[in-house]
Structure 1
Amino acid sequence: MVNDNVANYKAISKMLMQKRKKLIWTPYEAHCIDLMSEDFEKRIEEHKVTITKGRKITKFTQGKELLRPEATRFATTYLTLGRLHELKSALISFFTSEQWLTTNYERIDLGKNIKDIVMDTSRFWPSVADCLRVAHPIMKALRSVDSYSKPAMGFIYQDMVFVKEIKGSFKDVESAPYFFVYIYWYKRIFEIIDQRWYNHQNRAIHVAGYFLNPMMQYSHDFENTAWTKTRLYMCLERMCGDDNLTKTIELKFDQFTNARGIFGLSIAKLTRKEKSLFDWYILKEGIDYINKG
């Protein structure tokens, strides 16, 4: 069962899980990531200041040619910052053009304020770039989980692993004079991610989805660890309950993880990265049916 990550939904879902022993609840992942982006804005001062300035620009221009519809409904603040960054040169050119100089806005405080923001190439635009460095992994994960093109459950765990690779976005500033500021950023960012992800998400079902996803299971960097297996078994025990069924599934894991039996057939190998999880399952069922005659 998937729903928004708000207090009343969480409380009801926990009550349902106590009553329905095979039910598993998890918050809507896109909502969880959206809350992370809101926390970045609220708790990291540079993000708060930069986003406020960005909003002034889009409000002043009434959003014309600045805002662009996206596939996701979430984290629109950082999508807007990204759009501003794309139009940086065009905005600077506009505020130095004859067209701007002949408008009334050039002579009033509102217009001067917006122009000062756009022309601030030493602070505002570098801050936009820094905010986007942090937001990029979040946006990538968000597009994945909020997409209707594929079932998300088998990819959520890996997406969030990538989110925690934010530090890699700052490798080029490690020798900068104020690098200690970025170290402070990392700590704040990781705190926000951990609070939203580890404290509110049911990790067992996400790890199980990761483990059972052929795209992940047969990749070179798959995490086949005791930690992932423990979460898989926790989920299995919750959903199956019956000891005989659990045992039957467990015996199949060896074939799956080592690509034996039907999992080792050429057609199964060829479709690991080509088909959705559901289509791959249907293919497996078809092979089973053929093998049974």
Structure 2
Amino acid sequence: MEGILKETSQREKRKATSSVTISDDNEDMEETQVRNAKARSVKEGKKKATSSVHPFFIKGINDPSQPTIKSAMQTKKRIHYVDLAIAMWFYDACIPMCNIGFLVGQKNVVQIVTNKAANYKLAGNILCERYTSITWSPYAAHCLNLVLKDVSILDNVKILVTLASRVTIFVYNHKWHLNWLRKRVGWTEIVRPSATRFGTAFIALESLYHHKADLQAMVISTEFKKMLKVGNVVECKEIVLNENFWKNCLITVKVMTPLLRLLRLCDSDEKPALGYIYEGMHRVRRRVKELFMKKKELYKPYTNIIHRRWDRMLRKSIHCAAYLLNQVFQYDRENLCSKREIFQCVLHMVEKNFSGSDIIDLTMSLGKFRDSEGTFGRPGAIASRTSTHTGNL
């Protein structure tokens, strides 16, 4: 009996120990699983976050393909956005435009340039009446563009531009003729006029005139004779072989070239064009008269357009003063315009911006500037007379 009891007690002890070991093993397995899960979460947290933003410097900080800050921030589009933002700020803050002088300072504003619309013109006149030292004027480039527009609607010029446009359209609408011309040595593409820019019509005339030899060689070639049944071929041939057409093209190009150069100068951002506007308009009028051998019936239609736009829009004292104070033209005695209005405009600008003894000092300085006395006669000042020239208009 005692033996049976001992065996049962030993069996119960073995069962208890086995259950304890099994539970311990299960706890160990759970702990290892928890540790592995924590390790995986830590590793996943250390992974770098992927970004969809494209890096600005692809090749590093010395990447030459990246634009400079100056080229990115000083474009016409950016300047327009800045002007628009400032105007919207004035509008939102209910600040009248006539109070700009109080914010910027009357002495820090010499000229205000705006569009020629009626509201801008009225605002400019109000500012000039309130602040007598400020001068208002419209865009010079806009004025020149209107001159080109008025010239382009003259009967003889309008017919000429239409004929030139027909030749250009014919060449670029027929593959054979265009391929034949592109095989010519030194061939460049013909400039085609734009519908929104009046200056491009005259640039297209100049470009077409430079291709005169190639176009005439094309229409007299044996291959061209095989294409006479194609539409508008005969008309194109008559236009290209008409010497009066090319003569009128040359005259029109010579008349408008000075205006186009002045327009490029006024529309560029390389240097201020204020000191070159008066000289450019004066040279254009003189060039037109010389081209037509001073025959009034020939040059009057052109000079009347220039005078009308100049007198109504850009005949300001500030342009005359800037012309006389430009050393490029001041010391060119042969071509210097000696009209009385120029010196009167200089005195008018001096009296607008100065008073008292300053006017006398400035008048004396103008005499020294004219005669190259004092610092105006130093070698550096003399050398800079030609280095600042923008080219012949």
The normalised TM-score by structure 2 is: 0.59
Give the Å deviation of 1:19. Answer: 3.2
3-state SS in 2 of match to 1:273:
helix
Cα distance in 2, alignment partners of residues 188 and 6 from structure 1? 26
**Where does residue 2 of structure 1 map in the other structure?**
113
**Which residue of 67, 86, 92 corresponds with 2:216?**
92
Cα pair 1:50 1:128 within 8 Å, conserved: yes
Cα pair 1:25 1:202 within 8 Å, conserved: no
Cα pair 2:292 2:298 within 8 Å, conserved: no
Q: Does 1:41 align with 2:163?
A: no
The share of aligned pairs that are identical, in percent, is: 27
Identify which range, 183-192 or 60-69, moves more after superposition. 60-69
Distance 1:224 1:259, change over 3 A: farther
Cα distance in 1, alignment partners of residues 119 and 233 from structure 2? 45
**Which residue of 227, 249, 259 corresponds with 2:362?**
249
Q: CA offsets, 1:35-74, max 9 Å, x none?
A: 11211121x31111001111222233349710189xxx76
3-state SS in 2 of match to 1:2:
strand
Alignment map for 1:68-107 (pairs within 5 Å): 75-103=199-227, 106-107=228-229
**Which residue of 227, 241, 261 corresponds with 1:119?**
241
Distance 1:130 1:226, change over 3 A: closer
Give the Å deviation of 1:90. Answer: 0.7
Give the Å deviation of 1:102. Answer: 4.2
Structure 2 residue identity aligned to 1:84:
L
Q: CA offsets, 1:246-293, max 9 Å, x none?
A: 34323322222222221122222222222479xxxxxxxxxxxxxxxx
Cα distance in 2, alignment partners of residues 76 and 131 from structure 1? 13
**Which residue of 230, 254, 262 corresponds with 2:344?**
230
Q: CA offsets, 1:115-162, max 9 Å, x none?
A: 3322222x3222212222322332343344334443211121111111
Alignment map for 1:187-206 (pairs within 5 Å): 187-206=300-319
Cα pair 1:30 1:74 within 8 Å, conserved: no
Cα pair 1:151 1:276 within 8 Å, conserved: no
Cα distance in 2, alignment partners of residues 110 and 16 from structure 1? 58
**Where does residue 134 of structure 2 map in the other structure?**
23
Q: CA offsets, 1:193-235, max 9 Å, x none?
A: 1101122213311110011111111221333553211111122
Distance 1:52 1:12, change over 3 A: farther
Unaligned ranges ≥5, structure 2: 1-111, 179-188
Structure 2 residue identity aligned to 1:107:
K
Cα pair 2:277 2:319 within 8 Å, conserved: yes
Aligned length: 260
Distance 1:276 1:80, change over 3 A: closer
**Where does residue 32 of structure 1 map in the other structure?**
143
**Where does residue 266 of structure 2 map in the other structure?**
145
**Where does residue 276 of structure 2 map in the other structure?**
155
Cα distance in 2, alignment partners of residues 241 and 249 from structure 1? 9
Cα distance in 2, alignment partners of residues 56 and 249 from structure 1? 58
Cα pair 1:156 1:206 within 8 Å, conserved: yes
Alpha-carbon RMSD across the aligned residues, in angstroms, is: 2.7
Cα pair 1:154 1:206 within 8 Å, conserved: yes
3-state SS in 2 of match to 1:85:
helix
**Where does residue 272 of structure 1 map in the other structure?**
385
Structure 2 residue identity aligned to 1:27:
P
Structure 1 residue identity aligned to 2:132:
K
The normalised TM-score by structure 1 is: 0.78
3-state SS in 2 of match to 1:51:
helix
Unaligned ranges ≥5, structure 1: 175-181, 278-293
Q: CA offsets, 1:6-31, max 9 Å, x none?
A: 44433332233223332212222222
Distance 1:6 1:185, change over 3 A: farther
**Where does residue 61 of structure 1 map in the other structure?**
171
Cα distance in 1, alignment partners of residues 232 and 117 from structure 2? 39
3-state SS in 1 of match to 2:302:
helix
Cα distance in 2, alignment partners of residues 62 and 243 from structure 1? 67
3-state SS in 2 of match to 1:150:
coil
